[in-house]
Amino acid sequence: MANRLSCRYPHRVMDGSSPGSMVLLTRLSRLVYRRATEEALGMRLKQFAALSVLRDHGSMSQQALGENLHLDPNNLVLLLNDAEASGWIERRRDPADRRRHIVDLTSPGADALEQAEVALEDVEEEVLGGLTAAERATLRGLLHKAVAADGRAVDAPAAA
């Protein structure tokens, strides 16, 4: 019989027989990062995330994009510098507040994103190949729900 460990949350039973959800999510994330290489996608995964947000939500301030991606300003600038050098985004001053930068997805950026999405489908098949289509849909819905609870992410759909 497994030894029941104490837990602060009534919905979480820690019996020591299985890693917790956070450990499993971390392992899954590592699998994705190992397979979703720059060579496979044509861009880094963080660049993919940034371009996806811009495509799905349109132009936004550099600060809002950083908050959405959970990146500090310095790392965001490095990411955007590379994306801008590749021609995938453009930054411009906000006419209403010259201190702010607005980030726009370019046409070449949209094309590169589309190609990366096709490659990411292959990565998803490798990583989640053991799940049925229904299980993948359930997983996706639960992940969206968890991300939406954060409140900072703009890419989660409204709860159904």
CA gap 48, 44 in Å, rounded? 6
pLDDT at position 9, please?
A: 56
Alpha-carbon separation of residue 108 from 54, 83, 85, 87, 88 (angstroms): 13, 11, 12, 6, 6
Residues 6+ apart with CB under 8 A from 19: 27
> What is this structure's pTM?
0.78
**Contact in structure between 80 and 62 (CB atoms under 8 Å):** yes
CA gap 45, 33 in Å, rounded? 8
Q: Where does the pLDDT of residue 157 fall: very low under 50, low under 70, confident under 90, or very high at 90 and above?
A: very low
45-86 confidence digits (pLDDT tens): 999 999 999 999 999 999 999 999 999 999 999 999 999 999
On the question of pLDDT at 118 being above 70, the answer is: yes
Average pLDDT score over the chain: 87
Other CB atoms within 10 Å distance of the CB of residue 66: 21
124-142 confidence digits (pLDDT tens): 999 999 999 999 999 999 9
β-sheet with 97-105: strand ranges across: 60-61, 97-105, 89-94
**Contact in structure between 103 and 62 (CB atoms under 8 Å):** yes
pLDDT at position 52, please?
A: 97
CA gap 79, 47 in Å, rounded? 7
